Homo-oligomer: A and B are copies of this chain.
Amino acid sequence: MRIHIVNPNSSTGMTEQIAKVARRYASAGTTLDVTCGTGAPASIEGYTDEAISVPIMLDQIRAAETRGADAHVIACFDDPGLAAAREIAQGPVIGLCEASTRVAMMLSSRFSIVTTLARSVPIIEDLADAYGAGRRCRRVRAIDMPVLAVEEEPERCAELLAAEIRRARKEDNAEAVVLGCAGMADLCIRLTKETGVLVIDGVTAAVRLSEALVGMRYATSKLGAYAAPRSKAGGFPREVA
């Protein structure tokens, strides 16, 4: 089985972290094909960063299809371009937010999410709602740290996360906490140990869920919203000089 993991931003450091965690959790027989958004924003912190990164990511999806990808993981917690990627891919496509919120809903009755910047809170609230979390997602919290600082100052990030997870436990009665940034994946086990709360990471969740979907031998339905893009002038695939 071949899983393509695309980090839609251009940070090679974060891409390596994602690859490391993905390898740790992938099944023995799974080949991982990890790519990154060359030329895309260095981090995705808001709608514009998402918008600019998506066409580059769709090119990566297409290229990975050519290399025989059975499924794709969009390794960013905002799930940018998820629906578009489903139009382009044959197999399943899953993003970190969808994967981890679905896992949280299968392992707890109420959970919270902790992300980086406050500006991402409404984005993630809307995603969780679109995935059907409703009142089961108690609250989306932010540690007020830019995405790239997560990588640069892992120790400070871990401390801020631990404090926020404890607040989620106490104030939200959260039974589990989802880490709301791909760059936090490596801190997951440590945070569970430190806080006693089930901490869920999107990379881990998405890698295993995508394997599961491939194992079911189901593919993305092409009968409606996710049908292949219609062929047209200026349409997909983009002419890349």
Contact = CB atoms under 8 A, between A and B. Distances in A.
Interface of A: 9-10, 25, 27-29, 37, 39-43, 45-52, 54-55, 58, 81, 83-84, 86-88, 92, 94, 98, 102-103, 105-110, 118-119, 121-123, 125-126, 129-136, 146, 148, 169, 173, 175-176, 196-198, 200, 204-205, 208-209, 211-213, 215-221, 223-227, 229-230, 232-236, 238
Contact of A103 (B108, B211, B213): B213
A212 B208 contact: yes
Given A25-B215, A54-B54, A230-B146, A223 B197 contact: yes
5 closest residue pairs by CB, A with B: A132-B132, A109-B225, A212-B212, A47-B84, A48-B229
Given A51-B55, A229-B48, A221 B175 contact: yes
A198 B225 contact: no
Contacts of A81: 47, 51
Contacts of A108: 220-221, 223-226
23 contacts: A25-B215, A27-B215, A37-B234, A45-B232, A48-B58, A48-B84, A49-B232, A51-B51, A51-B81, A52-B238, A54-B54, A94-B106, A105-B132, A106-B209, A108-B223, A110-B224, A121-B173, A122-B225, A169-B223, A197-B223, A205-B216, A208-B216, A211-B212
A217 B123 CA distance: 27
Contact of A236 (B48, B109, B110, B236): B48
